Amino acid sequence: MMEEILIRLSGLSGVTGCFYVGDDGSFVAQALTKTFSTENAKRAVVVLSQTFEALSMVAQFTITRMMVNTNGARLFIRRSDKGYLNVLA
């Protein structure tokens, strides 16, 4: 079910891939190209999840989404109850 949703998201104009990572750092589902490094993605998600938590503590409210701009690409991250939805564009 989740993988089907990610495949549909990846088919949207401008989206180059997406993946869902659980709170434990495991890839639950993904729709990524073969050139995409899942190990780098896992590392990024760990750092970004820590950033989510730190910003929430400082701001004293829950941050549920974030956008990261990198060298012409964007990573949209959305927090859910059980992990993080990540969309690359």
For residue 40, the domain's CATH number is: 3.30.450.30
Give residue-wise pLDDT tens across range 20-37: 988 887 888 888 877 777
Rounded Cα gap, residues 89 and 26, in angstroms: 22
C-alpha–C-alpha distance, residues 60 and 54, integer Å = 10
Interior/surface letters 57-77, b for 16+ CB within 10 angstroms, e for the rest: eeeeeebeeeeeeeeeeebeb
pTM of the model: 0.80
The count of domains in the chain is 1
Instruction: Give yes or no for a contact between 27 and 2, defined as CB atoms under 8 angstroms apart.
Output: no
Report the distance separating Cα 14 and Cα 31, nearest Å.
14
- The residue segments making up the domain with residue 21 are 2-88
Flag residues of the chain having pLDDT under 50. Answer: none
